[in-house]
Amino acid sequence: MYLVALSAVVGSVVVRRRRADAATRRQLRWLLVGASAVPVLLGAGWIAGLAGAPQRIWVPAFYVTMLVVMPVAVAVAILRYDLYDVDRLLGSSLAVFLTSIVSAGIFAGIVYLVGQQLGESSGVGVAGAAFATALCLLPTYRMIHRRVGTLFDREGTVMRARVSEFVTDVRDGRAEPEAVEAVLRSVLVDADLRLLIRLPGSADDAYVDLTGKSTPRPDGAVIPLHASGSEVAAIMLGAPSTRRTRQARELARLARLPVEVSRLRLGLQVALRDVRATQARLMVAGAEERRRLERDLHDGAQQHVVAVGMRLRSIQRGLDTGLPANAELDQAVEMIEGAVAELRRLAQGVRPGRLQDGLGPALQDLLSGSPVPVELDVENLELPEVLATTSYFVVAECVTNVYKHAQATQLSVRVAAQANALVIAISDNGVGGAPAYGLTSVRDRVAALGGSLEIDSPVAMGTTIRVELPCAS
């Protein structure tokens, strides 16, 4: 019987060794040492007996060695190499055993008490005891399993407690969900652990890390995380093992909330980047269209109208000055000059003509007729068309707002490049109190380029508007 059991153990160990990692192979090696000790010693004893050695010498040695080698080998496999998560198996088995003992005690106690009150022949005691035991069974098992787990699976208990605490902090807003990867690395003591996210609608092999950077599907073993029948994330262990994989799966289930929140936030960030990229392309296309319209107005309609006016003046010079047609021609030429002025105004509204000389001259021309003294400071920068046009209209709208509402006596406009961004600051010494959500059209222009706008406007202390536009746009 022992030889049959031993053959089964050795066979399973050999199979497991072929597929196991290094730590598990060392664990199985110790099991082989313990399992092989008995047949080796039996064979040695038989040989010693056949050789005529007295039994009083080799039999005690056989038992002593067997009682020492096997426990030591199994103890090393369990304590040093985590024998097949034996702590979890022992904990579960002991919890079931203790639950059975407690349940039997509850059943016997109730039967005894009811028998004392109603008589031993009453069937109420057995039925009541069975009912009460059934009610107490699950809570008792959970309580005992938790207590036993802290004793036999102390590491797993601490891991689950730390992850649960982190999930609670995320739910209460005390921690960022993107820290889930760092928490898993710390809990599992695996500095190379990676949490990869599958964004909604992405390809089967498309992953991103928690910063949104695209990452190819890893070649190593991964632990997929599923929700609603589809994969939403994957955990890649730096040092995978049977025990670590099981622990990572369990902890991933506990950390589902921060993983899902991180995935949704990454999806929103990607969608926002796509929207901003689309807005930026539309802004560039709009700037090019404005330049084309300005050119068409200047070189097309405006030149034709001017040519008509010159033609009328030429005709007028050939007529007698006393004719009534002279007055009518004067009125017609004046109307043509008004039309030319209107065309120029429209062209300036489409795209300021001075922008071809740079943003500084364009702003200087814009503020030349300001009713409020202006301090203008613009760095000499080579800016893309869309950035220069946006900056011009931002300053124009902010300055117009100052004229209308600020009651200011001093105005300052500064434009400078700082850390890959164009910074525009418009300040006045007016009444202040401007709402932080004001300047909707300016905000839309700035947001279209992925920039930011801040308004600092304390009451009676003036207003400062600070705009940052990324130069990369």
**Please, which pLDDT band fits residue 413 given cuts at 50, 70 and 90?**
very high
pLDDT for the residue 238:
84
Q: Which two tokens stand for residue 190?
A: 């695996």
Residue 198 CB contacts under 8 Å (≥ 6 apart), including other chains: 206, 207, 230, 231, 232, 233, 234, 263
Report pLDDT digits (tens) over 227-241. Answer: 777 788 888 888 787
Give the DSSP per-residue string, 267-317. Answer: HHHHHHHHHHHHHHHHHHHHHHHHHHHHHHIIIIIHHHHHHHHHHHHHHHH
**Strand residues in 150-211 grouped as ranges (E):** 194-197, 206-208
**Please, which pLDDT band fits residue 10 given cuts at 50, 70 and 90?**
very low
| Cα–Cα distance, 344 to 302 (Å, whole number) | 8
pLDDT for the residue 165:
92
Q: Side by side, which strands form the sheet with 222-227?
A: 214-216, 206-208, 194-197, 230-236, 222-227
Query: What's the rounded mean pLDDT across residues 21-31?
Result: 53
Does the pLDDT value for residue 464 go beyond 90?
yes
User: How buried is 211 (Cβ within 10 angstroms: 0-12 exposed, 13-18 middle, 19+ buried)?
Assistant: exposed
What percent of the chain is predicted at pLDDT more than 70?
Answer: 65
- Using an 8 Å Cβ cutoff, are 185 and 276 in contact? no
Would you call 60 helix, strand, or coil by DSSP? helix
DSSP state letter for 174:
S
Just give the CATH number of 357-470. Answer: 3.30.565.10
| Cα–Cα distance, 101 to 141 (Å, whole number) | 11
Check residues 374 and 99 and name the one with the higher pLDDT. Answer: 374
Q: Side by side, which strands form the sheet with 411-418?
A: 374-378, 411-418, 421-428, 463-470, 452-456
Helix residue spans in 121-153 (DSSP H): 124-152
Domain boundaries, the chain: 2-81, 86-152, 155-271, 276-350, 357-470
Query: What's the rounded mean pLDDT across residues 346-372?
Result: 79
Q: How many CB atoms lie within 10 A of CB 412?
A: 17
Q: What is the mean pLDDT of the chain?
A: 76
| Cα–Cα distance, 420 to 451 (Å, whole number) | 12
CA neighbor of 468 nearest in space, from 410, 387, 393, 406: 387
In this structure, of 210-224, 346-360, 403-417, the range with the lowest mean pLDDT score is 346-360
CA 424 to mean position of chain CA atoms: 31
**Please, which pLDDT band fits residue 21 given cuts at 50, 70 and 90?**
very low
| Cα–Cα distance, 11 to 4 (Å, whole number) | 11
CA neighbor of 86 nearest in space, from 39, 162, 140, 30: 30
Query: What's the rounded mean pLDDT across residues 97-111?
Result: 78
Give the DSSP per-residue string, 315-327. Answer: HHHTS-TTSHHHH
225 φ, ψ (degrees, to nearest 5): -115, 125
Report pLDDT digits (tens) over 123-166. Answer: 555 666 677 777 777 788 778 777 776 666 677 778 888 999 99
Most confident of 256-270, 299-313, 349-363: 256-270
| Cα–Cα distance, 127 to 69 (Å, whole number) | 51
In this structure, of 231-235, 286-290, 376-380, the range with the lowest mean pLDDT score is 286-290
Q: pTM score, two decimals?
A: 0.48
Q: Which residues pair with 225 in a beta bridge?
A: 233
